[in-house]
Structure formats: structure tokens, C-alpha cells
Amino acid sequence: MHEGLSSHHDGSVLYVSNQRPKLFDQVKVRIRVHDSFGKVAKVSARQVENGEAFFSQKSSSAAGENGWSWWTTEIRISNPSISYRFLIELVDGSCYWLNTLGHSRIEPLDAFDFRMNIYSDAPEWSKESVMYQIFPDRFARSSAADSRPAPSWAISKKWHDSVTGTGPNAGTELFGGDLDGIIEHLDHLEALGVSIVYLTPFFPAQSNHRYDASSFDQVDPLLGGDEALVRLVEAAHRRGMKVMGDLTSNHSGKAHEWFQAAYENPNAEESDFYYFSEGNKKYVSWFDVPSLPKFNWASQELRKRFVDGSNSVVAKWLKAPYKLDGWRIDVANMTGRLGDQDMYLEVGQLIKKTMHEQNPDTFLLGEYTSDAAAHIQGDGYHGAMTYYNFTKPLWRWFSNGTDELHPGFPGLGQSVLSAKDFVDSYVMFTAAFPWHVRQANMNALDTHDTPRFKTATLAGAQRVGAGLQFTLPGVPVVFAGDEFGLGGHNGENSRTPMPWNGERETDKSMTGIYSQLARLRKENNVLINGSLRWVYASEEAVAFVREDQDSTILVAACRHEDSEIAIHKNAITDASKAENLFGGDNLELKGDQVLIPGKPMSVNVWRLPATKQKW
């Protein structure tokens, strides 16, 4: 096979006729097969229905451009979630399977089948968005912050002070950022192209990160209180931005009113909210951190207060006057799980149900720090904050080998991956997601829990990484400060106060790059809804195509120089009509090959003619 001519299918609109199927719908699905693969006699879809596999009986083919044939068959949404793959039979009698990993001559595992389900109900705005993550204490101080005395647990810091990255003081240094400070910088976010403002927790707590909430019923007065949140959401909405909050469903803080009512008091109504023992003197906590007691989701009263109905914590902040547009759920992967208890999926479904009862146009993300695909299918969380499919393999592809990074993210500082390894990892960890979940997943270079990408990677890599996070399927996420090129060796050290007045060294070129990429994504819907087809991967470089029925985009990214980036001309539509949209380099046609520039630390985006392959 020539480079870029592999058969292909994915869950996008180019290959699946109905993006929001209902139970018992018949859905047309198709694959593309190039003439160089062999003469095809028949294509069948193998799907699992009620636990038993069967094959579609009819298929049809249509000739496309550049030697491609498009084979169409139907599958039935016989269960809420189905899996399927294709069998390609050639006229010479040979047979090949096609699943999410590509071709196989032996029958593959169902685990790598394509996935489709009836849970595609994320709001349209979510997949079109550019998300901006804000750690409130470190973003901006309004003038009102000066009048708020620091609590007894806090170590007061000046905005220009350095951040303590490790040790007992890391979580108690208070720089005094507040919600009105965010309002004062919405112009900056708008110029970046931000459409979702994602706030880490705003509840009162005894730390700067506020994941140890002492109450879910109010906004921390240090941030300006309830009224400040109302002002922020209203100001963001006037600019067409959404605002999402961050909620800890796995634990509260030790100072939380529920925990305080039940600690050493087995008769308290809140006693079964947690995993108490020995007269409620001992309790289970998140990773044995005493300040983070773990919720017991077997408690019906906890469910009532936290998630059930319009008076619950989940619902309150979605309603007037606050009107949040969604939640990111912290430690979603551990919520409801302990020993033989496993209520994780149920809790996610309950949260989504309550959210949709309040406002069906809200967005729900779950943090899942490892392989999320088997657990996030859209029936609960619309998508995941996950690191395995994009963030971690990208770090390792561009790793600078530093060994000073966050111990919670093994793989950094280890052996460097090739570009092909990056693609293989990306494909494997996205394989089991339905397409609509892939569109909702967060594409982050870094977050408040990780080293900064700039610190972990080679010089110049951030520009390339940003190019990839804005052009691959998913929601691009900018952690506040990335646009200034800030650094940090671990999560705590990365929570650097924003350098609004030159307090820290910055790389101002990244601000323009993020703005340009956000505009590129907004102006090219194919980068939101289009299919993803990898056409090249080597030691140093990758290239992929995003396609729908109206547009085609080619993207190429390179680490060190690769002078041999060549794909077959039939892998894409007419390269002679390519228009560079980002990066500035040109394609070259040479015989039956398209030569792609492979400059060090480069990323290029070209617009090509559409496939014109209609349904």
C-alpha cells in the first residue's frame, strides 16, 4: 500500500449518515477503499445485536475521485450501544477486517470495533468551543480583593511572588485572585477566541485550589461571593461565552458542614455520607489525604442533597441567578468506587439527568486520568478530561527529557516517542470512544494538575502542540498562562499568577498563535465535525486529513527535520489547489507523490478541494 491509501471509516458525518440515532433506527455507514488495495467483491458490516454477531446482507458501491470506491451498507441500532466492524472481501478470495485500528487479516477483538449509541446529546456549542481553564486564585485580582482579610489557614502572597511547587505550603499560598478580576480580563479571553470559561472550584475551602469544599451552598467570599459569580456569568454571556464550574463528587473537605456534623457522631443524618468507622472517628479519604473525606454514594440522603432534583447542589448553580452552562466533575473516575462498590456510571448518569432537567443545553465533562474510553460513552458524561489519548503521548513525542516533573504523570522524562508512536497511541486510546464523545473530549497541552507543556518539551514545541490540539477532533483547552508561554515543573508550580503587568517572563508570540488557531477552527467547520484520516507517520512527522462533504483540510506537524514526507497524490484531493491557512509552507507535486515540507518544529494547515462524496 502507498502512504495514505489505507481503507477508512470513522463515526463522522462523512461515513455515518445519522449523527444522533435513536433506538431501532437504520443507519447508513460506509467505508472508502482505494483501487491499490485490490478489487473488492463485497463489503459487509458485522455488528453485535443483543449479544450475538451478525452481518449486513446488502451493500452498494460508488466510484469516487482518485481511485477511491465508497462502499455503503446499513446497521441497526438494536441496542442503546452497538459495536461494529467491516469485512472486505476481494475478488481473489482474500478477506480483510477493518476496525478502529485499521486492516487485519485475522479476526480482531470486539474491543476495537467502531462504536455507536443513542447518547449523542451534548449541546452543539460544546464541540464548537475553545475552552479556557482558570484557576481563580492565580488569574487576576480586582481592587476589592485588597479589602478581604486572609483566613487563618492562608499564607498571603504578593502577585509578583514565586509559587511554592512542593511541600505543605503549596496548597495554602493565597495570591488573592477573584471572580471580578476575571471579568476585568474578558477582553483578553475574547481576543484569544475563547468560548468556554472553565473555572476550577469556587466554593469556600481551606486551600487555594478549593477542591476541599467546606460548603457547596455558596461562592467563597474570598472570590467575591455569590454576587460575583452572577456578575461573571452575565458578563461572559453578553460576549457569547459559556461558563462551566468544577464540582467534586468524590469527596468534600474535612471542614465541610456535612462532614463536621457526622464526625464522631454516628447518629447524625450525614453519617452515611462518608465511609466512617470506629464511632465515626476514622474515615476513608482520597488517596489517604485526611482533608478530603470520600463520599459514600450508597447514601440516599447524599444523593438527594447532591444530585437529585431541582434543589440539589448540581441543579442549584445551573438555575437563575447563577446560570452556569455545565460542570466538569473532579475525580469522576473514582466517584462511587470503593472495594466491591462500583456506582461510578450510575452517579454520572444521575448528574446528567439532573442537569438536563434544569437545562438540556448544558455540558458535562468527567475527569478520567487514565484510559477513559470504556467508561465514558455519553450515557453519563458527554466527554472526558483525559490525558492518555492526546496529552501524554504528545508530551513524550516532544519531550526534552527533564526528570523534575510531577510524579502523578509517569512517562514524562522517560524514553522519547516517535511521531508514529504518537499516532499509534492516539489511535489506540481513542478507539473505543463513540465519535460524539471524541468531539466532546478535552484536548489539553496541560492543566492545573500537570507540568506546563513548555517546561516538559523541546523549545518551539508549544506552537506545534497548539496546532495539533486545535485541528484534531475534540475541544481545545488553553490553561490560563499557556498563551504567555508560562512554565512549571508540576501542577502546583504551574499555577503561576498571570503576568498582566510584566511580573514574569513571557512569550507573547503564543498569544497571537492561539488567536489565529481559534479563528482557523471557527472558520473551518470541518475541524469540528470532519473525519480524521492519518496519511503519514514517521520518526519525526505526522500528517492527517480532516474531511466532510464540503471541505478538506490537510495538517502536517514535524519535530526534527524530516526531508522525506511524501504521500501518494491520491491520498488527498487535488494538491495543486492547496491553500495554506497556517504555517506558510507550500505542497509540491512530484510524479505521483505529494511532498510536504518537514521543517523542524513546524505545523502547517492547508485547505484542499472537497471530496464531494454526498449521501
Mean pLDDT of all residues in the chain? 95
Please tell me the total number of residues recorded for the chain in this structure.
615
* The pLDDT of residue 57: 87
Of all residues in the chain, the percent with pLDDT exceeding 70 is: 98
When pLDDT is cut at 50, 70 and 90, the band that residue 562 belongs to is confident
Extract the C-alpha cell encoding 560.
526534527
Taking residues 352-376, report their average pLDDT.
95
When pLDDT is cut at 50, 70 and 90, the band that residue 564 belongs to is confident
Residue 583 has pLDDT above 80, yes or no: yes
* The pLDDT of residue 410: 59
Under 8 Å CB-to-CB from 260, ≥6 apart: which residues? none
* The pLDDT of residue 1: 47
Extract the C-alpha cell encoding 459.
523549545
* The pLDDT of residue 561: 87
Contact (Cβ atoms closer than 8 angstroms) between residue 453 and residue 488: no
Extract the C-alpha cell encoding 117.
449509541
- How are beta strands 282-283 and 276-277 bridged, if at all? antiparallel
**pLDDT tens-place string over residues 533-544:** 999 999 999 999
**pLDDT tens-place string over residues 489-509:** 888 889 999 999 988 888 889
Question: Environment class of residue 503 by beta-carbon count within 10 Å: exposed (0-12), middle (13-18) or buried (19+)?
Answer: middle
Calpha distance 362→78 (Å, rounded): 28
**pLDDT tens-place string over residues 243-284:** 999 999 999 999 999 999 999 999 999 999 999 999 999 999
**pLDDT tens-place string over residues 76-114:** 999 999 999 999 999 999 999 999 999 999 999 999 999
Calpha distance 587→575 (Å, rounded): 7
Neighbour tally for 589: CB within 10 Å: 13
pTM for the predicted model, two decimal places: 0.97
User: Percentages helix, strand, coil for the chain, rounded to the nearest 5?
Assistant: 25, 25, 50
**Which domains are present in the chain?**
26-117 (2.60.40.10), 124-159+185-250+295-523 (3.20.20.80), 530-608 (2.60.40.1180)
3-class SS letters over 426-463: HHHHHCCCCHHHHHHCEEECCCCCCCCHHHHECCCHHH
Residue 570 has pLDDT above 50, yes or no: yes
3-class SS letters over 191-230: HHCCCEEEECCCCCECCCCCCCECCCCCCCHHHCHHHHHH
In which residue are the cell numbers 440539589 written?
A: 312
User: Pick the residue with more confidence: 489 or 202?
Assistant: 202
Neighbour tally for 274: CB within 10 Å: 24
Complete DSSP assignment for 310-344 = TTSHHHHTTSTTT---EEEEETTTTTTEETTEE-H
Calpha distance 188→194 (Å, rounded): 9
**pLDDT tens-place string over residues 287-310:** 999 999 999 999 999 999 999 999
DSSP helix/strand/coil, 258: helix
DSSP helix/strand/coil, 419: helix
**pLDDT tens-place string over residues 22-67:** 999 999 999 999 999 999 999 999 999 999 999 998 999 999 999 9
* The pLDDT of residue 2: 62
Packing angle, helices 509-523 and 461-471, rounded to 10:
20
Of all residues in the chain, the percent with pLDDT exceeding 90 is: 91
When pLDDT is cut at 50, 70 and 90, the band that residue 411 belongs to is low
**pLDDT tens-place string over residues 254-264:** 999 999 999 99
Where is average pLDDT lowest: 157-171, 183-197, 455-469?
157-171
* CA-to-CA dists, residue 121 to 20, 21, 473, 493, 498, angstroms: 8, 10, 17, 37, 36
